[in-house]
Amino acid sequence: MDRYLQDEDLPAPAEVPLLELSGPVLIFGGCYSNLEATRAIQAQAKRFGIPPERTICTGDVVAYCADASATVDLIRRWGVHVVMGNCEEAIGWSASDCGCGFAEGSACDQLSSAWYAHTNSHVDDNIRSWMRGLPRRIDIVVGGKRLAVVHGAVDSINRFIFLSTPWSEKRRQIESSGCTGIIGGHCGLPFTQVVDDMLWHNAGSIGMPANDGTSRVWYSLIVPVGDGIKVETASIEYDFASAAQKMRAARLPEGYAAALENGLWPSCDVLPAAELAMRGTSISPSKVIWNERFADSSNETRFDQSSCAKFQDSAFTAIGEHRAVVRLKALETLWFNTGTLCNLACSGCYIESSPKNDRLAFLDRDEVRQFLVQASQFDPPPSEIGFTGGEPFMNPHFLGMIEDCLMAGHRVLVLTNAMKPMQRQKMALEMLNARYPGKIAMRVSLDHYQASNHERLRGPNSWQATIEGLNWLATNGFDLAVAARMVWGESEAAMRAGFGELLRRLEIAIDADDPRRLVLFPEMDPAANVPEISESCWSILGKDPDDVMCARSRMIVKRKGAAHLAVVSCTLLPYDHAFELGSTLIEGARPIALNHRYCASFCVLGGGSCAPRT
């Protein structure tokens, strides 16, 4: 109970209403006096054909926005079920403030005083009476599950329960409810969590965005499926501009009016560190199937979300969606990492290559031959062999490897910085290119079209040597491409225009508008908060799993001190043992769960690939 309303002020607890519902249930919370958003969710329910008796609001019909009375009137005319929120409790009994649970003197506490005074002055005794009569909890039975619908927590109407709230506390609340799951509100952020056949779900709010930098607002559907339920969280767009305009006209806090537009809360005092770190990060819709006999009744793996962390479970995302999996469509490109030693120590190198990093040892010629034999057993065999490092030309066996691949009928792609290690092999390279014309492709790393930016990443005196190598390759007729990085904040069009001017000035015949000839790699920040890729993302994003790099390639690495070579999923993850697939290409042909942040940021969302696109 909040600090303003004492037990003697409130009526004795009523018996908990029980609703047995046979179809999809629409859940929403936090109308917050936002009439436009409330109209939008009502229209959504009508589109889905969900009647009022299967629609539930988790409370706080009134709060931040301008239309308290009109929003209550709409909810009452609509006839949906409403759980009492702390705002209804406070307004209903004319408390001195909203009872949201904000710390006294905090920014949230100070901001709330203005909207609370406005709301309190715009409701009549009839509305207050309705608010006092709302149940503090509603139990529903849907899909064989009994769920308690509350505002904050079972034992406290204004308790904030977030995704990061320890599961032990959620378990305590669920067990005390006598149900197998809880649907809550109050915190304003949508999430779904299933652990040990127990559910905690929050539909978010429709009256205020989810602090994710977008104007969208959130609701959820609880749908019976077999002997379980599907919990689907979704967003809607609405006329936020009109709602914000009304708030400004009523002289309500600008921070909340702006939040309707920019999707960012004006104060985050109540947020734990995990949720605070997500501020401004766009969230995605989700679907979770919850079935107590899940592991026994299907071929799926049971989801255990006790950690809440991303990229921890190979079968499920942190919010319980089935993780996206990519199957090997064809082994088109077989990659070899020749070793991580490099003549440069570039800032932000994807695999931390340097003159001192030998975590991946030099491959030798016989080891490459063994895998070429294995590759020949595939139907069709790979058309291309790719070499990366480190700097491949640091490996003393490298030219022999190239020759063996060419003799076996493969095209060869070499990723290089084109500096002295390569230039020392000019004569031998020229001879190989003459013997196998058009079969050796060289992709030169040039991180920006300006020397100063390139050297910011590659180090001083790295530009001119690379340009000399690039010129030599062009003059001697190699199949040539350039690779750059999108770390500069420039658009793709600006990058291509800048490189086009540079290449014309150098008289190098590379079409900068051809993505095969100027490859722009998306940036991969290992500390960035990136979304996970679930099965549903393919259709949402309009992506095809067959276009992802690991659908068409594998890489061979030689870990320092290891007893055997390893097949890994792709060129970006040579160290992560979770992506080691075995010691043979047959073992390495198994499907890949996209359980790494680079899978999302580089391959799926970034559209990147180390192999050329045909």
Torsion sign (Cα): 63, 67, 72, 75 = negative
Distance in angstroms (rounded) separating the CA atoms of residues 282 and 494: 26
Of 49, 221, 223, 81, give the one whose Cα is nearest residue 145: 223
State which amino acid sits at residue 577: H
Quick: pLDDT tens for 570-612. 998 888 888 889 999 999 998 999 988 888 888 888 777 666 6
- Expressed in angstroms, the distance from the first to the final Cα of the chain is 64
Quick: pLDDT tens for 302-360. 333 433 468 877 788 877 788 999 999 999 999 999 999 999 998 878 788 899 999 99
Distance in angstroms (rounded) separating the CA atoms of residues 308 and 304: 9
Instruction: Look at residue 154 in the predicted model and tell me its pLDDT.
Output: 95
| Adjacent-strand bridge partners of 360 | 559
CA dist list (Å): 351 to 124, 144, 314, 357:
65, 49, 22, 10
Cis omega (within 30 of 0) on the bond before 489? Answer: no
Does residue 518 register a pLDDT over 90? yes
- Structural domains of the chain, ranges and CATH numbers in brackets: 7-295 (3.60.21.10), 328-604 (3.20.20.70)
For 132, counting Cβ atoms within 10 Å of its Cβ (0-12 exposed, 13-18 middle, 19+ buried), the class is middle
- State mean pLDDT over 264-278: 84
pTM tops 0.85, yes or no: no
DSSP for 472-492, please give it. Answer: HHHHTT-EEEEEEE--SS--H
Report the run of H or E that residue 118 belongs to, with start and end: helix 107-121
Distance in angstroms (rounded) separating the CA atoms of residues 207 and 246: 14
Distance in angstroms (rounded) separating the CA atoms of residues 487 and 485: 6
Residue 582 neighbours by CB distance under 10 Å = 14
Distance in angstroms (rounded) separating the CA atoms of residues 282 and 263: 9
Instruction: Look at residue 308 in the predicted model and tell me its pLDDT.
Output: 45
Q: What is the mean pLDDT of the chain?
A: 88
Among 122-131, 219-228, 503-512, the range scoring the smallest mean pLDDT is 219-228
Report the run of H or E that residue 506 belongs to, with start and end: helix 492-506
- State mean pLDDT over 525-537: 78
Distance in angstroms (rounded) separating the CA atoms of residues 59 and 98: 13
Q: Where are the beta strands (DSSP E) in 185-272?
A: 191-195, 198-202, 217-225, 228-236
